Amino acid sequence: MKSDEDLDRSQNHKMPIEMVLWDQDLESKNKCEYDEFFKSFIVNRIKQKKQKRISRQCYLKTNFLLQIDQLIGNTHEWIKHLNSIGFENLQYNFYEELEKQIKKFKVQELNLQSLIDQIIKVNQQWYQKIFKKLVQMKTCEVIEKCQQQLSHIETINSYIFSGEIQLKLIDDKVKQQKNCYQIVFDNSGQIMVSNSKEEIKIWNIMNGTFKLLNTFMIHKRNINCLLYSKYVNNFISCSDDSTISCWKQITQIIGSGQNHLKIILIRFIETQLFSGGHDSTIKIWNFDFQNNNLTYIYSLNGHKNGSYSITLNDSETVLASCGYENLVIWEKGSQGEWIQNDTKLESTGWNIKFINDSQLFQISDEQKINDIKIYEKIDGEFKPNKQKSISLVRDSQFSDNAFSSIIYNKEKNIILIRKNEYFYIIRKQINGKFQVAGQLKCETSSISGTLTNDAKYLIFWDEKQQKYLSYEIINL
């Protein structure tokens, strides 16, 4: 025999041989043949596997460089986009300027605000596009530096939008007696979904006014969380009846989760879903919006008595969850699995929210604690930064509850927090600290609300008034 192919053919194998076992009853002549060939057979197999590894490495290298080239191209397009806006606004017309001066009309201020809005919109579009590609790429020092540089773009919003805010009532005519726990918007910002206990309500929102389109009854108990897709016209609901439902033209119950489902969270690319509830676990599911497919993968066990809030950092490498007795940090392992961090955080709260990769907000569930706690990643661990804690109103007469999530609009530098009977609008300042820019007091802590996608309106349901209200957010 001259080659391993000869060996393959001699034994009528259809695939290359991976292992050889000697038969003690084999004739001596055949044993000699195999023995003489065995060394060359092993060497050839090693060479083939080595060549496959080299080919795989070359493919990875080519693919990595291709992605880098795409990122460079996207960055150049981003710069061109901003430059084009600059050139358009640099055009000067003497007669137009003269007419403005004569009429003493503050067109310049209006044009300046329009220019700012254009820049913010362009930055946000390209930021999301590039950051998404960086997240999908393998972690390395270069990629981490790119993400750090990209995150600096967010600070631009802190310079532009850092002033106080005024809230102006727009609509308070829509009544609803049963409790509303969640409000979400579709990608267009024109469709609002809310609940009335176990009932789903679909609304049209136009300039802060409400119009009811439809109602649906699928769940048997209270709906605790709603989540709308960023990419398709679908949304998800979870309920105390322990079910998760996906909603599109035909509604379908796609999964049964843990007891009394309280919270659901989905990854940026919407392929994986997290759920939490009373059974003290975080369940992880593979998820397909298009095919209404939800497949359970495994559970995370780190809570002592239920979980009420889950959040991912921007790069989706850290997951945080909080419950009655503790706040747990999970880190993504090399194989994509979630591993509990050794950091012990004996802190309770109804809601938590990552606002970037290294800062985590937490609202305490205790009535007397009215500060927003901010955790920052220091030396690989998340620790509370007392200097950045946000002080809120301290004379509250209402106990707190789990209604309303922390909402963060990066484009407008607005963080919406509901604590006790107050809604707070918080902004990041140029010095990196956070400040209350506006607040709204209600006569009950049973209020649940959110921001519209463009952060122009605050929408909420008030238990005492038993109705929906909308307020316009005005930058001063």
Joined together, the tokens standing for residue 6 give 């000869």
Mean pLDDT, range 160-171, rounded to an integer: 83
The whole-number pLDDT of residue 110 equals 47
Decide if 309 contacts 263 (C-beta within 8 A): yes
3 state DSSP class of 296: strand
**302 vs 189: CA distance, rounded Å:** 36
| Domains of the chain listed by start with CATH number | 1-152 (no CATH), 163-475 (2.130.10.10)
Decide if 330 contacts 300 (C-beta within 8 A): yes
Decide if 370 contacts 420 (C-beta within 8 A): yes
- pLDDT band at 92; cut points 50, 70, 90: low
pLDDT surpasses 60 at 183: yes
Could you report the per-residue pLDDT of 233-245, keeping only the tens digit for each?
Answer: 888 888 888 888 8
- pLDDT band at 326; cut points 50, 70, 90: confident
pLDDT surpasses 50 at 106: no
Q: Which of 201, 273, 293, 199 is nearest to 239 (CA)?
A: 199
Could you report the per-residue pLDDT of 396-422, keeping only the tens digit for each?
Answer: 777 776 666 899 998 888 999 998 889
Q: Taking the mean position of all CA atoms in its chain, how far away is CA 448?
A: 20
The whole-number pLDDT of residue 153 equals 57
The whole-number pLDDT of residue 431 equals 82
pLDDT surpasses 50 at 296: yes
Chain mean pLDDT for the chain: 78
Mean pLDDT, range 285-299, rounded to an integer: 83
Q: Which of 199, 202, 203, 236 is nearest to 219 (CA)?
A: 199
The whole-number pLDDT of residue 137 equals 61
pLDDT surpasses 70 at 31: no
pLDDT surpasses 60 at 155: no
Could you report the per-residue pLDDT of 195-211, keeping only the tens digit for each?
Answer: 999 999 999 999 999 99
Between CA 270 and CA 368, with CA 423 as vertex, the angle to 5 degrees is: 105
Mean pLDDT, range 13-40, rounded to an integer: 57
Residue with the bigger pLDDT between 301 and 54: it is 301
- pLDDT band at 451; cut points 50, 70, 90: very high
Residue with the bigger pLDDT between 260 and 312: it is 312
Residue with the bigger pLDDT between 217 and 67: it is 217
The whole-number pLDDT of residue 458 equals 96
Query: pTM for the complete prediction?
Result: 0.69
What is the total residue count of the chain?
Answer: 476
**464 vs 441: CA distance, rounded Å:** 13
pLDDT surpasses 50 at 2: no
N- to C-terminal Cα separation, the chain: 88
Joined together, the tokens standing for residue 203 give 């609304």
pLDDT surpasses 50 at 109: no
The whole-number pLDDT of residue 119 equals 75
Give percent above pLDDT 90 in the chain: 25
Range of lowest pLDDT (19-33, 218-232, 431-445, 460-474)? 19-33
pLDDT surpasses 90 at 247: no
**108 vs 89: CA distance, rounded Å:** 11
The whole-number pLDDT of residue 294 equals 83
pLDDT surpasses 80 at 367: no
Give percent above pLDDT 70 in the chain: 69
Distances (CA, A) of 352 to 170, 373, 375: 29, 9, 10
pLDDT surpasses 50 at 123: yes
Residue 38: its H or E element: helix 28-90
The whole-number pLDDT of residue 142 equals 56
Q: Where are the alpha helices (DSSP H) in 104-170?
A: 107-136, 141-151, 154-160
Q: Hey, which residues does 450 pair with through a beta bridge? A: 459
